[in-house]
Every structure is written in C-alpha cells, then in structure tokens.
Chain A
Amino acid sequence: MSAHTHAAHANEEVNYLNWKTGLWSWLSSTDHKRICFLYLFAIMIFFVAGGIAALLMRLELSTAGPTIPGIVKDPHTYNVLFTMHGVFMIFLFVVPGIPATLGNFLIPLMIGAKDVAFPRLNLFSFYLYVLGAACGAVAMLNPVDTGWTFYAPYSTTTDTSVSLMVFAAFILGFSSILTGLNFIVTIHQLRAPGMTWMRLPVFIWASYATAVIQTVATPVVGMTLLLVIAERMFGAGIFDPSKGGDPVLMEHLFWFYSHPVVYIMVLPAFGVVGEIIPVFSRKPLFGYKMVVLSSMAIAAVGFIVWAHHMFVAGISDFSAKFFSIVTFLVAVPTAIKVFNWVSTMYKGSISFKTPMLYAMAFVFLFMVAGTTGIYLAMLGVDVYYHDTYFVVAHFHYTIQGGAVIGLIAALHFWFPKMSGKMYNERVARIAFAMLFLGFNLTFIPQFILGMDGMPRRYYDYPPQYQTLHTLSTVGAFLNGFGYIFSLLNLLGTALFGKVKAPRNPYNSKSLEWQTASPPIHENFETTPIVNEEPYNYGTHAHA
C-alpha cells in the first residue's frame, strides 16, 4: 500500500502518547487514540468486577446447597451477583466497550483520517459513559436483583434500586448512539483519497454495520427503560398487569434492542478476525464482497428476529413460527463468513503469532455458538432449552467466545501500534491456552446441564447436577486466570517493555500499519493516498 508517510527523523520520538503529558491532557483529550485508552481503562474496571461476580457465582454453584455462606449468604445475594454480572458485562463492558475502544482507535487510522468527524462529541460520549457507569455503580449500593433483562412486573415491584440502574442504562444508550453517529459520519466523509467503499478493510465495514445498529436500536431501549421508571415512580400501568399493563410488551421492547445488541457486540469481532487471518496467512481475504455483504445482512436481519427470545413467553403460536423462520436467515450469512475465513488460509503461508491463535480459536468457538444457536431457533427444541443452562452456554460462546475473544485478539494484534512496544509472545501463548481450555471446560458442561433440564438463575439445584457444576467451576477459574495473565502481559509490556515495535511488525498491507508505532497525534505525516485493495497479499498468476 503506497501510503506516503515519510516520518521525519526529528519527529520519530514524538507520538500521540507523549506529545502532551499530565493526567488532564488525557482526560480532556479529543484525540481518538487517547479516547480509546480512556474507554479501555473504564471498561476494564467493569470487566474485572463482572468477572469477580461470575467467579463468586461459580464458587457458590460448585456444590448443591449453600457452598460459600460467608460470601453468598442467601439466594438474594446470588441473584444480585448474576444481575451485576449481566449488567456490568453487557451494558458497561461489551456493548459500549468493543465498538468504542477498537472503533475509536482503528477507524480513523484504517481509513486514513486525522481523527473522527466530531472529536469533541467523541469525548462527550465518553463522559456520558462515565456518568452512566457511575449511576450503575451507585445502584449496586442497594443492589438490583432483577437480572440484566429487567422483566416486569418483577422489575417494577422489587424494592431494589432498579430505577437508578435503568437510568444508568438509559444514559449509556445516549453515549452509544452518539458514538455510532460519529463513526457513520467519519466513515462516509473522512476516507483518504482513493479509499473507495470496496477498499475498506472488513473491520471498517463491521464497525459501520455496528454503528447503524447502535443508532437505530438504542432509542427503543431508551424509551423502554424510561417507561420502566415511569411505571415504578408514577404507577403508569404500562407493564404491570395489576395496573392494566402488559408484561409481555416489556419483553418485546427489551428484545427489540437487546437482540440487535448481540450483533453490536459480535460484528466488530467478526471484523477483527477478518483482519487477522489474511495477514498471518499472507493471502487476500477470500470472498471480500461476500464478507462485507454478510455483515450488512446480519445487521439488517438482526432487527426482525427479536421474539425468538420469547417462544414460550405467551406470544401467539403464529408469531413464534414467523420469528423462528426469520431467525434461520441469520445463520446463512454467519456461515458464509466462517467459510470465507477458513478458505483464506488455503495455500497460505501461515504463521501462528498469538493474534492468529485467537482468530483460529474464534472460528471454533463461533462454530459452537452458531450451531447451538440453531437448536434454539428450532421451535419445538427451544421450548425445552429455553431458560436452561443450554442457553447460558450458547450465549457465552457467542459473547465471550465471540466478542470478548475478538477484543483480546485485537488488543494483541494492534498492541504494537497502540503502545509502540511488543508484548511477550511466550506469556501470551500460555495465557491463550489457559483461556481457551478454561472457557471450554466452563461451558461444555453447561450444555450438558441444559440437556438434563437444569434451569438458569438457580441459587440451588437437585444433587444430580453437581458433578457438571463442579467441572464448570474449575473451568471458570482457569478461564479467569487466563484473562489475568493475558491482560497483565499486555499492561506490563506496555508500561515497562523494552522491545520497541517497528512500524509494521506483521508486514500488513492496511493503512494503520503504514504510519509510525505509536502514531503521531495527527496519525499521518501527510494525507495517505490509497491505490490498492486492503488485502493485496500473494502473487497474481501470470496467465
């Protein structure tokens, strides 16, 4: 890629990390790369808190009956833990986190722009996130016990601080909408000369599809959550049947947002895998146009499948049949993506750096997530699996195995660009192995528990389920240690690492690798001019 970026020797040492110093220069920065780090720092707090909640739950569930009465003293505490885990992981870590961190850092760099279209709005979005996160954290003082789904009338009648928690999600929604708008305008308006739509890296396409969902779906959940508050404060009678409301309406409105949200979480990860596999296979991305098209198709179809969460919720049998059939429409573009990723490796020159290991693990984990999703789209079968551990395992394969593994892969892959250092490859691989084995050991037993009929959100369970629960707990701790090691490796080498990263350590063709590591504040010395495709690897046959 002929990006004309001739770094002058004098400027080599000045980059976006050190061109201004002091805490305030970070907190008030409108540089998209610094805002990425603000988000990264903030979401990691909730990743750790949500992770601790998960491990406490697993510990409690490791035996039937009370296991750690000193910490989880009653069912209420357990209910608070799974609510905290869900709310933190979904609303404060994955949904705002992955688009905002990776999107912020990469979109301008990958399309050859100086920054996003509205840098100050970008910083404002971050502070909205902080405000929302603060409300969410305060709400945990009188901890919410509704589950992350806030189903009425439980959520409109429990005396925990649901209103504040819901208000937090409402503010976070605004942050998400503004970030989405910002990215859409950036991708439309700020592409470098020669960066046509069909030369956009697939990560940009995925981010674009994500941003569209964020701006279109989030207002609906905003309204829904305000209605929950209206119900609690003024007895509006919208969802609570004792006041003439309809609890199933709440489920519809909730899932109209929260199903597309799954794609907000996982589409960026699809994009990440689409970037990593070509670089480490030294091959163009197989079927680029189909990969792009499938992202847009998933985003579009994702809007009309929400009620597949509600096959046994009391919707009509006719609706259930409709939503089952359209749900299968998601399976096809997802399958197309997997086929194209694997085909990219055909006749490649494959090396196995840590990001590639994560990308290959992603393909496996997402196959499991996708195929188990088929079970749940099948009406008669879903009736059995609904609200059992099968569902729990399925969506963890999607969200953790998909979105979070995608984030970890991306943090390794772009680490040299972000920090200007190289991480320790050996530690990264060991952490990867722990994470991968631990993850599967956690959730494969949960598939079997689901097949045996074990319901989710149970503080206690009949003794026949104990062995599988114990295995799952062991896996969860291995998984947790894997995260700790991989993130400490990145943090440690970023702060104290001695190995400086070259400009383009993987010999990648895409634009962000053509500028300095780490980039200067303006990203590129001069505006880059693009005159080739994003994955122009390999030799064209001379025939």
Chain B
Amino acid sequence: MLGLLGEQGSDFAYKVDYANDIVTIISVVCTVAIVGAMLYFAVKYRQRDGVDHETPAIEGNNALEVIWTVFPTLVCIWVAWLGYDSFVDLRTPPPGAMEVNVTGRKWAWDFQYKNGKRTTSELVVPVGEPVKLIMTSKDVLHSFFVPVMRTKMDVIPGRYTHEWFRPIKTGDFQVFCTEYCGNEHSKMLARLKVLPKAEFERWLADDSEERKLAAMKPSDRGKELYVAKQCVTCHSLDGSPRVGPSWLKLFGKQGQLASGDKYTADENYIRESILNPQAKTVAGYPAMGMPSYQGQLSDDDLTGIIEFIKTIDGSQKIEVAPAAPPKKADAALASMTPAERGKALVADSSNMCLTCHSLDGSKVVGPSFKGLWGRKEKLSDGSEVQVDAAYIKESVWKPAAKIVAGYGPAMPAMYEGKLTDENLNDIIEYLKTLQ
C-alpha cells in the first residue's frame, strides 16, 4: 500500500508490509490529532498581552478517562493481532522446504547444501520454492537479515536457529549481518541470488570444482586458487615484479612496510594481507593495489594458499595451469542479447571485473561501472576524456595507458587475448544499461 519497506521478495512480505502500513496510518493520525489538539489549545487559550485570565478548575472527567483507556486498548489488540498474524507465517516453514545450512563466522557467511555443495557469501536459491535456513555460528552472535524477504534471525554459537522464505521473484539481493560481531561487522555481507528453477538445478549439480578442491592436499588447493582467484595476475612465482610482491621465497621473509615498520611474512601476516590488504603495505607497492578477499575465501582456502606459498622456496620451478575457460555454454551465450552477454562476462568470476569495479556507484579499487558510459573522466595527467567504446577497449587491454585521477595503476594487463573485441562490444552494451 504505502511501500515503505521497499521491494517485496517473499510470499509473506505483503503481510508484514500490510501490518506496517496500518500501524503507520494509525500512528500518523494519532500524532497529528493529539499534537494538533495541543497546538489548538495553545493558540486558543494563550494569555493575551501577558495577562492571566480566569480558568475553570476542571480536575478530570471520568467518562473521558474510560474512553481513552478503552479506545487505545482496542487499537492495541488489533495491531497486536496484525503483528502476530504476520509473524506466524514468517516463522512457520512449510513441510518439505529445501534446507540450507548456514554458518556465520567473523566475518563471512558459509552455506552448505544437502548435496554437499558449499559457497561463501553467496546464497543461491530457486524462485518459488520454500527455503529453510538452518543456522549456527562458529564464534559470536550474528544475525541473518534479508530485507527483501522481511526476515531475520540471530545466529548463535552452540545451537541452531532457523528462518525461511519463499522467493517470489528472481534477482540478486542484499543480506546483512545485524547482530554486532566486532571489527568487520559492517562488511559481513552476503548476496542472495534467486535463480529460475532449471538454472538453479544446473548450478547445484555442478560440484566438479568443489569435489576436486576437497580431495586435494592444502598446498595443491592453494596452487589451484592461485589461478582461480587471480592471484597470478599480480603475484609472480619466479621473483619477477608485477603489481604486488612475488611469492618466490616470500614465506618467512622480513622487510619494511610503507609505514616504516618491519614485517615478517608468517602465517598471520599473509592471512591479514589477503583479508585486509590495506592494513600493511610493503614499501614500494601501491597502497590501494589489492582488493580485499574478505568473505571470498574459506579458512581452508586461506590455509591452502599459505601452504602453497611455503612450497615456493626456489628449490623447484612451479608450473601453473592457465585459468579455466568460461564455463557458460556457447549455445546459451548465443541466445542472449549483447547486453546480457556483457553482463554474464562481467559477472563471470574468472574475469574478476567485480573484484575492483562495483555496479552500484561505490568506489572499490577502480571506478564503479554505474554511470560510467558517456561520462567525462579527468585523467591523472590533467586531461579529460569521454568514456566511449575506444576508451573502454584501451582501458581494458592496456590499463596503464590512461589512469583516471584519484585511482592507482592497479588494473592488471591480463585481458588482451582473454577478452575479444566482440566480448568488449557486449560489455559496452551492458555498461550502457548501468546508468
């Protein structure tokens, strides 16, 4: 009715919104009536010219007291019922709901499906099906809040809590942690992806990568992630300098930070540098060069990477396989519009665009894609440039050619050969839609 709580994503959302609308109307009417009466009395019965006038000694009125005791009581019973009614739906998952196990930890959300598939910071569900989340915490209290679904529940160590919803539309929605849990509380976010049923089934069944990783020894897992998570782009294995320090003989190395302090590259230092790269920057490297991997890597992943780094001690030459080709079937791509293909390319994790460029206007490592197309950018050399097709292609293939003022030379030169001219035309079509 009033639409105060925004988009409705679950089948019970309308009930919560209805209760919220009714109480809003009652509140506004009551406040206006009472404050209006007060202001009316204040004006009507004011002392004129500062002279006191005679007043009647009215001490009360029993009939009025009864009315304004009974009337608010009745209103309260009604709105209490509305609140109760919406709550019952929201707390009662239908039998046969798809169950997903959720684990909160400082500071990310892990999800596990019945077939063993795991994700971090990304909950993928099918549209139209009830989903029941069975939640627990590894450390302190968290709370799983999906605004668009109108549901929220605390996540508690040592016990299970649950929440459920039945998505009524596909899309990509925000999940917040709403119980204070320490330093990165405000970064403990996740995405809820609601997919068409068939697409979800395909996604769920695709567990090849997961199984492969689970069976590996930690250092092999780290080696796999080195490519899959694009560490390779900025960190070499042979000592050659790229955007970031090489991993050759990195473990145990001592050196100087940009702040002047000393560092020793032990397990904790590496872990911190992956999750919170800006905390310590090695002297001589760009301060904003690396995006945070907070929420993208599990503890096992981090251990794997650290173990992998330990193996790069120079005793043997390490070969890595090139990044896996895009998984999306060519047939599926062919049936899409150019803008849709562009969107898929941008979202494809092997391309890593979204690691540094946001879609919502927020500044990450690089400029946001939102509103980028057609804008005039000021470059670091002071000149101005119009964001057109030629500029975008140059920026992707040869990122160092033109740097927008306020950003560092952080974008890796890895896309020439990886993204074709056709790919870029699709991406440009997609960017045009992000205004």
Contact = CB atoms under 8 A, between A and B. Distances in A.
B55 A367 contact: no
Contact of A455 (B56, B59, B65, B178): B178
Contacts of A378: 19, 23, 79-80, 82-84, 86
A409 to B, nearest CB: 15
**Contact-residue bracket for chain A:** 35 or more
Interface in B4-57: 4-6, 15-16, 19-20, 23-24, 26-27, 30-31, 34-35, 37-38, 41-42, 45-47, 50, 52-57
Contacts of A364: 31, 35, 38
Given A343-B64, A387-B178, A381 B19 contact: yes
Given A286-B58, A381-B83, A387-B143, A314 B154 contact: yes
A383 B186 contact: no
A254 B427 CA distance: 54
Interface stretch (A117-125, A151-159, A255-263): A151-159
B337 interface: no
Given A372-B27, A383-B150, A463-B361, A241 B55 contact: no
Contacts of A242: 157-158
Interface in B205-263: none
B180 A457 contact: yes
A65 interface: yes
Contacts of A536: 57
Contact of A380 (B47, B84, B174, B185): B84
Nearest to B89: A380
A351 B183 contact: no
Nearest to B6: A452
Interface in A225-267: 241-242, 246-248
Contacts of B91: 317
A247 B143 CA distance: 14
A460 B184 CA distance: 9
B90 A386 contact: no
Contacts of A241: 156-159
Nearest to A153: B140
Contacts of B85: 380
Interface in A282-329: 282-284, 286-290, 312-314, 317, 320-321, 324-325, 328
A42 interface: no
A502 interface: no
Contact of B180 (A147, A371, A462): A147
Interface in A432-458: 451-453, 455-458
Interface in A87-108: none
B59 A286 contact: yes
B53 to A, nearest CB: 5
B69 A284 contact: no
A230 B82 CA distance: 43
B45 A346 contact: yes
Given A282-B55, A346-B45, A367-B30, A324 B6 contact: no
Given A343-B64, A384-B5, A462 B57 contact: no
A382 B5 CA distance: 12
A79 B83 contact: no
B182 interface: yes
A181 interface: no
Contacts, number: 281
Interface in A122-147: 145-147
B264 interface: no
A151 B180 contact: yes
B270 interface: no
A378 B183 CA distance: 31
B376 interface: no
Interface stretch (A2-10, A210-218, A332-340): A332-340
Contacts of B87: 317, 320-321, 324, 379-380, 383
Given A332-B73, A345-B38, A379 B84 contact: yes
Interface string A502-539: 00000000000000000000000000000000001111
B185 A457 contact: yes
Contacts of B308: none
Nearest to B43: A350
B58 A538 contact: yes
Interface string A338-372: 11101101111111100000001001100110011
B55 A371 contact: no
A458 B185 contact: yes
A354 B34 CA distance: 21
Contact of A153 (B5, B46, B157): B157
B428 interface: no
A473 interface: no
Contacts of A281: 45, 55
A326 B84 CA distance: 13
A438 B58 CA distance: 36
Contacts of B45: 281, 345-350
B55 A462 contact: no
B99 interface: no
B177 interface: yes
Contacts of B55: 281-283, 347-349, 537-539
Contacts of B84: 321, 324, 378-380
A287 B360 CA distance: 56
B60 interface: yes
Contacts of B56: 283, 347, 538-539, 541
A40 interface: no
B140 A375 contact: no
B180 A331 contact: no
A177 to B, nearest CB: 29
Contacts of A247: 141, 156-158
A381 B89 CA distance: 12
A374 B79 contact: yes
Contacts of A339: 34, 64, 68
A377 interface: yes
A360 B38 contact: yes
A378 B134 CA distance: 24
A313 B141 CA distance: 9
B42 A324 contact: no
B362 A324 contact: no
Contact of B141 (A154, A360, A381, A540): A154
B4 A451 contact: yes
A95 B179 CA distance: 25
Contacts of B96: none
A387 B185 contact: no
Nearest to A341: B38
A74 interface: yes
B139 interface: yes
A55 interface: no
Nearest to A250: B141
Nearest to A383: B152
Nearest to A76: B183
Given A286-B58, A540-B57, A381 B47 contact: no
B149 to A, nearest CB: 10
Contacts of A79: 180, 182-183, 185
B58 A347 contact: yes
B31 A371 contact: yes
10 contacts: A242-B157, A283-B55, A312-B154, A349-B47, A350-B45, A364-B35, A381-B19, A452-B6, A453-B147, A537-B57
Closest 5 CB pairs of A and B: A380-B86, A378-B83, A241-B158, A453-B147, A379-B87
Given A324-B84, A381-B83, 9 more contacts: A287-B64, A287-B65, A325-B80, A332-B73, A332-B76, A336-B69, A339-B68, A342-B41, A463-B360
